[in-house]
Structure 1
Amino acid sequence: MNAEPAPGPRPESAFDPHATSLDGTADPAVLQELFEIRGSIDNIDATLVYLLAERFKCTQRVGRLKAEHELPPSDPGREAAQIARLRRLAEDADLDPAFAEKFLAFIVSEVIQHHRAIAGRRD
């Protein structure tokens, strides 16, 4: 009998933080620095995944509330305000505002699909 995996974070045992196709093509000291920088990137990526999971938990709650009160899945006024806010934040953070807007648009599109699905289950 196979035991269910424990809830929560799972070990990244299959992930090799030193995976590269650059072995033998660069100075080992350069590769070491590259691995250190990539380690920071890996930590940020993991944080982003968990933050997105938390964000989607909140948007699921919004979707249920909207469905209960027969509100539309999307809110163009809210979305426009969020885009403007995110563009300002991106500029302050020295991030390309167009990229930040595309990123938010992707997330909002997913959220709206979830809200439609929640509303469909209530019908």
Structure 2
Amino acid sequence: MTDDTADATTAATARLLGLRASIDNIDAALIFLLAERFRCTKQVGVLKAEHGMPASDPNREEQQIARLRRLSAEADLDPEFAEKWFNFVVAEVIRHHTAEAERD
């Protein structure tokens, strides 16, 4: 291996480590944001259970999907991915809301 190749490899490794550190920070932020989101949706679930409201709100979900698809397009993120993510999260939220309603 030449000195130039070794220098390029060292630089690439340093860049890789920096990118991975950024990814780790973003992942941590996402986890804390999701936790905050679920704290809010838990309150929604309690409110719905107290007032006999359904766990699911299809109209709200459709509006949110449209909104998130627009936002993801603006952010250069695949709107299909954003919708899949949202549907995954909503399924978990509805599961929590249903469990909360069954406790009462």
- TM-score normalised per structure 1: 0.77
1:49 matched to 2:24? The reply is: no
Identity among equivalent pairs (%):
62
Distance 2:87 2:77 in 1: 16
* Aligned-pair CA distance for 1:28: 2.4
Distance 1:31 1:110 in 2: 39
Distance 2:21 2:51 in 1: 45
Distance 2:68 2:11 in 1: 38
Which whole-Å deviations, capped at 9, do the CAs of 1:83-118 have from their partners, x for residues lacking one? 000000000000000000000000000000000000
Uncovered stretches (5+) of structure 2, i.e. residues with no partner: 1-7
Match of 2:9 in 1: 27
Corresponding letter in the other structure for 2:88:
F
1:95 equivalent among 77, 80, 84: 77
Which is helix-richer, 1 or 2?
A: 2
* Aligned-pair CA distance for 1:46: 0.2
Uncovered stretches (5+) of structure 1, i.e. residues with no partner: 1-25
Matches within 5 A, 1:32-111: 32-111=14-93
> With CA pairs under 8 Å and 6+ residues apart, which has the higher RCO, 1 or 2?
2
- TM-score normalised per structure 2: 0.91
Which whole-Å deviations, capped at 9, do the CAs of 1:12-55 have from their partners, x for residues lacking one? xxxxxxxxxxxxxx922211100101111110000000000000
**Structure 1 moving runs of 4+ over 2 Å:** none
Distance 1:81 1:31 in 2: 44
Corresponding letter in the other structure for 2:60:
R
Aligned length: 97
2:94 equivalent among 83, 92, 112: 112
